[in-house]
Amino acid sequence: MDAIAVYKKLTKKTKIVLMYVKNIIFAPNKMNHNPFSKVRANLSGGYTADQWKLFHMNSRKRKEYLSEFDWYKSRYINEPFDYMLNNKVVATEVLKDYMHCPEIYIIKDKGKILDFGDGSQIDYDTCLEIIKSIGEVIIKPHRKGKGNGVNIIKWEDGSFIFDDKKVGIEVIVDRLEKDNWYISQVIHQHAYAAGLYDKTVNTIRIITLRNPNTKEIEVFFAVQRTGRKETIPVDNASKGGVVCKIDLETGKLSEGRRIDSLDVYETHPDSGNQLTGVQVPNWDILKGEVLAAHKKLPYMELIAWDVIVNEEGIHYICEANTSSGINILQLWGGQKQSAMGDLFRAHGVIK
C-alpha cells in the first residue's frame, strides 16, 4: 500500500472516530433516557439513547436493528462516487437528465454569487431583484442535511416573507450573507400532500439499492414525511416531523410515527387530517421512474430519493442522497437482516 493510500485510510478512520464522538456520544437525548442506559446504548454498537428507547432495545434486538453508527459508516458505500449526490447542486445538474428537478436560479460559493441564467457573477442587490422577479424561491446549503438551513423566501405585495413571516429586507440580506447556498424553484405540492398538513412541503423518501444477493437494483423502502408546526418550513423527521410507511405494492400510507417519540398517529397531530390509508397518486409510475433513474447510475449502490409530487401529479426530485437515516426505516421493525443490512455487510459496514 503506497503512502497516499495509507493516508486516505487513516483519514477515513479518523473521520469515523470523530463521527462516533460527535454523533453518538454527544447525540441529543430528546427522549430523556437515563444516563446509565445512554452509555450502554453508545457502547453496544453505536446506538443513541433515543434509538435504545425508541426501539425498546436489548441484547437480542441488536441482531435486528441497525445502529446510528452503522448509518454513519454506510455513507462511504458509494465511494468514490458519493460526492456527486452529497453536493446538491451537482446532483441536480446530473439528475435533471433523468427526472424532473427544481430549476436552480442562483448559487453562492466562496463568496461569489453566480446567476445560473447567464453565468454572470452578481451582487446581493441583483440577487434580491432576481428573487423579487420570481416571487417565491427556496434557499438551501450545498451540503447540509436534515433540513438544516432550508428557508422559503417570497416577495409578496411589496414585502419579503421569510418562512411565512413578513420581514424587513435586512433579514433576507443576513440570510444571503451566511454560508454557501443555492436558490431554486419552489414546487407546489399535490392536493394529497397538502391534505396531510399544508404548512410544510411534504416529501416522499424512497430508497433504491442494489440487492447484494440478486445483484439487481430494486425499490427497497419508502416513507411519506409530513411536517409539524414545530418544523415549518421543512418536514424532516430529525426536526420532529411525522413519518408514514408507504406500502410498496399499493402506495397507501400507514399510521404516522416519530423518531423522537413513542406516539402513534392515525391522523396528523396538528391538522387532524387523515394519515392512515391515504393514497399516494401515480405510485407505480413513481417507482418506475426512480428505478429507471438509478439504473442510469449503476455505480451508485444505494440512493435515497426525496420526491415532491406537484399539483399536476408530476414527480420532482428535490434531493438524492448517498445514504439514508435508518431510524425512519426502523420505526416498523429492524432492518439489520433486510436487503439493506445485507448491503451494509457486503461493504464491511457491519458483520
pLDDT digits (tens, 9 = 90+) for 176-194: 998 899 999 999 999 999 9
d(CA 3, CA 301): 28
Closest CA to 108 of 155, 185, 161, 175: 175
Which grid cell sits at 174? 443576513
pTM for the structure as a whole:
0.91
**Identity at 287, one-letter amino acid code:** K
Task: Give residues with Cβ within 8 angstroms of 81, minimum separation 6.
Answer: 297, 299, 300
User: Which pLDDT score is estimated for 1?
Assistant: 61
d(CA 245, CA 167): 37
Backbone angles phi, psi at 33, to 5 degrees: -75, 150
User: Which pLDDT score is estimated for 146?
Assistant: 63
The residues pairing with 154 across neighbouring beta strands, listed in sequence order, are 136, 161
Per residue in 322-344, pLDDT (tens digit) is: 999 999 999 999 999 999 999 99
CA atoms within 13 Å, Cβ hemisphere of 3? 0
> What's the whole-number mean pLDDT along residues 51-70?
92
User: Which pLDDT score is estimated for 269?
Assistant: 97
Per residue in 112-162, pLDDT (tens digit) is: 999 998 999 999 999 999 999 999 999 998 876 666 789 999 999 999 999
Q: Indicate the SS3 state at residue 171.
A: helix
Which grid cell sits at 19? 463521527
Average pLDDT, the chain: 93
- Report the range of poorest mean pLDDT among 25-39, 102-116, 152-166: 25-39
User: Which pLDDT score is estimated for 15?
Assistant: 86
Sign, CA torsion 331/337/338/343: positive
- Report the range of poorest mean pLDDT among 7-21, 39-53, 212-226, 313-327: 7-21
pLDDT reading at 45 higher than 80:
yes
The residues pairing with 183 across neighbouring beta strands, listed in sequence order, are 106, 139
Per residue in 7-25, pLDDT (tens digit) is: 777 888 888 888 889 989 9
Q: Indicate the SS3 state at residue 121.
A: strand
User: Which pLDDT score is estimated for 48?
Assistant: 94
Q: Do 311 and 188 touch, CB atoms closer than 8 A?
A: yes
